[in-house]
Amino acid sequence: PGPQIPHDPTKKTIVVLGSGWGATSFLNTLDTTEYNVVVISPRNYFLFTPLLPSVAVGTLSARSILQPTRYVTRHKTRFVEVIEAEAQSVDPVNKTVSFIDNSDIQGAVSSTSISYDYLVYAVGAEVQTFGIPGVDQNACFMKELNDAEKMQRRFMDCLESAAFPGQSEEEIHRLLHMVVVGGGPTGVELSGELHDFLEEDLKMWYPELASKIKITLVEALPSVLPMFSKSLIDYTVSTFKESKIDILTQTMVKEVKDKSVTLAMPDKSIVEMPCGMVVWAAGNKGRKITQDLMAKLPTAQTNRRGITIDEYMQMVGTDGSIFAIGDCTASSHAPTAQVASQQGSYLARSFAQRVKGDKLKAQLDELEASAATILHDDERKKVVEEAESVKSQLAKFKIRPFNYSHQGTLAYIGSDKAIAQLPVMNGSFASGGVLTYYFWRSAYLSTLFSLRNRTLVASDWVWTKIFGRDVSREW
Ligand code: FAD
Ligand code: NAD
């Protein structure tokens, strides 16, 4: 038995898995008048990921970049059920999803399943560790809110342990060495934020230690930020040099130990680098539930990067009842928030169109059924003509395919500087510096989904400027 919901049996049920960029954008845009909608996600909020590194160093408070999913759904015309649970499996044949409550506190019922007419699959991705030893046990991640909180605690712990009386110089240097793995935008932005924390706050609060803090960014490829133009990569590298952030390129992390990382250097030598904290920002991979779902469609779903979808977001190989958006998919677009949110709002609009198509189909079925029962010739002719007209309307009925509109790529690189690669006419415009930083701030402020979050983020920026970041270590 599924959960009891204010269910209208005459309407189709959309089950949405996830409450991230794709799902939230879908819910924001969806007209719920014609559908029963149920959202299932292990976290009952939306997380504004672009500002997560700012939370990790205390520039912003966590609450400022979260939006409870119920804030989105309560404004809908019809009730939308929000269930805090983790989907365990999808049965594409019987059209059901089973899910469990895996939170700390559970009631008498903690697992059940639900039927769907349409499934909007937006579960995102998880951190890719490539099976490298010690990553899970010894590194922090930068993907979810608890990752940022854990990193903040660990960072402050390293500082306080370095300040412990009698610590040797060697141990102080180890504890104050922060290693960020992955020179994609997450790793670069986090390194920049750590540097700001050091310059703007730690020099004041830990004057005896601040000069010993070292940040190293390790990247396996020959360059950081491959999605940006050469000029912006060079600008980032020179800014990091000024900020005394070391970049090691063509260097692969082979193991993360309790007190060090093992590096394969460009000359193939193996180096053991002591450190106090490792942040793993080396990319993402598909979740197990996604791999399991794909395995149920072995001929159609063969892309190892994620779910193959068509231009209508339909999962290839299904009967048109499963739609997948965002990081769980493998499309020609990069796995970004920008893509996921455009896919989500597109899908919601296409559901509004789908209602029209469904209504026409139902009307046609009804007319054809009644034509078969009418005995009087003239009356039947009238109904058949009407059915033909509906049929021709149905033939013309088309849902427009998804069309991605790239708005540009932005990244914060620390020291009040950002880089931007913006599309113009047939090419792109590259800009970097302090002005771009203000553009970055205003762009993200306007992208935040609610006025509440905009106000919280803007006021956090002001408070941090005036009072600095908090250096107390939460337990
Ligand atoms: P997510 O936003 O990750 O959402 C997935 C949702 O599914 C979550 O709510 C999760 O709780 C839920 N879920 C997980 N498992 C299950 C399950 N079993 N059942 C049900 N629900 C489940 N992109 C940009 O374009 N610009 C940026 O500046 C940018 N900055 C970033 C900074 C950081 C630190 C990070 C980590 C990412 C950044 N990204 C950025 C990338 C962007 O966050 C992702 O591309 C985006 O989140 C993808 O959206 P999504 O909806 O597919 O997945
Ligand atoms: P990423 O996949 O973009 O980068 C990960 C990097 O880690 C790669 O360059 C890879 O070569 C490196 N790496 C992997 N294994 C390694 C190892 N063992 N040793 C050293 N280096 C290793 O990951 P990301 O930065 O988390 O970004 C994920 C997605 O989110 C991307 O699509 C990105 O565009 C998007 N994102 C965008 C922004 C932004 O626009 N500002 C910010 C963050 C994330």
Which letter does DSSP use for residue 62 in this model?
G
Can you list the alpha helix ranges (DSSP code H) found in 163-280?
A: 169-175, 185-197, 203-205, 207-210, 230-242
pLDDT of residue 75: 87
Q: Provide the ipTM.
A: 0.99
* Three-class secondary structure of residue 12 per DSSP: strand
75 and 148 share one domain = no
Same structural domain, 68 and 114: yes
Residue 124 confidence (pLDDT): 98
**Which ligand has its closest atom nearest to the C-alpha of 421?**
2
Domain count, the chain: 2
Instruction: Ligand 1: list residues with CB < 6 Å.
Output: 17-23, 40-43, 49-50, 52-53, 86-87, 122-124, 142-143, 186, 287, 289, 326-328, 335-338, 340
In angstroms, the CA 123 to CA 305 distance is: 14
Per-residue confidence (pLDDT) for residue 471, from 0 to 100: 87
Same domain assignment for residues 99 and 39: yes
Rounded to whole angstroms, the Cα distance separating 82 from 65 reads: 20
Residue 332 lies in a domain: yes
61 and 117 assigned to the same domain: yes
C-alpha distances out from residue 107 to 70, 101, 102, 111, Å: 21, 9, 11, 10
Tokens 């701030």 — which residue? 441
User: What pLDDT shows up at residue 3?
Assistant: 47
Predicted TM-score (pTM) of the model is 0.95
Q: Are residues 203 and 273 in the same domain?
A: yes
Please give the distance, rounded to the nearest whole angstrom, from the Cα atom of residue 149 to the centre of ligand 1.
17
Same domain? 39 vs 27: yes
Residues 353 and 253 in one domain: no
| Residue 375: per-residue pLDDT | 82
Tokens of 91: 């049965």
Domain that holds residue 199: 135-284+405-467
Residues 43 and 111 in one domain: yes
Q: What is the CATH number of the domain that holds 279?
A: 3.50.50.100
271 plus 299 within the same structural domain = no
Ramachandran area for residue 7 (φ above 0: left; ψ -120 to 50: alpha; else beta): beta
Q: Tell me the one-letter amino acid at 165.
A: P
Question: In the prediction, which pLDDT does 426 show?
Answer: 82
Residue at 5 is within a domain: no
Say if residue 111 is in the same domain as residue 158: no
- Single out the residue of 99, 70, 72 nearest to residue 82, CA to CA: 70
Minimal CA–CA distance to 157: which of 136, 175, 180? 175
- DSSP string for residues in 245-262: EEEE-S-EEEEE-SSEEE
For residues 88 and 232, state if they share a domain: no
CA of 225 relative to ligand 2 center, distance in Å: 8
pLDDT tens over the chain, length 475 residues: 444 467 899 899 999 999 999 999 999 999 999 999 999 999 999 999 999 999 999 999 999 999 999 999 998 989 999 999 999 999 999 999 999 999 999 999 999 999 999 999 999 999 999 999 999 999 999 999 999 999 999 999 999 999 999 999 999 999 999 999 999 999 999 999 999 999 999 999 999 999 999 999 999 999 999 999 999 999 999 999 999 999 999 999 999 999 999 999 999 999 999 999 999 999 999 999 999 999 999 999 999 999 999 999 999 999 999 999 999 999 999 999 999 999 999 999 999 998 888 889 999 999 999 988 988 888 899 999 999 999 999 998 889 999 999 999 999 999 999 999 999 988 889 999 999 999 999 999 999 989 999 999 999 999 999 999 988 877 6
> Letter for the amino acid at 337?
A
Claim to verify: residue 42 and residue 161 sit in the same structural domain: no
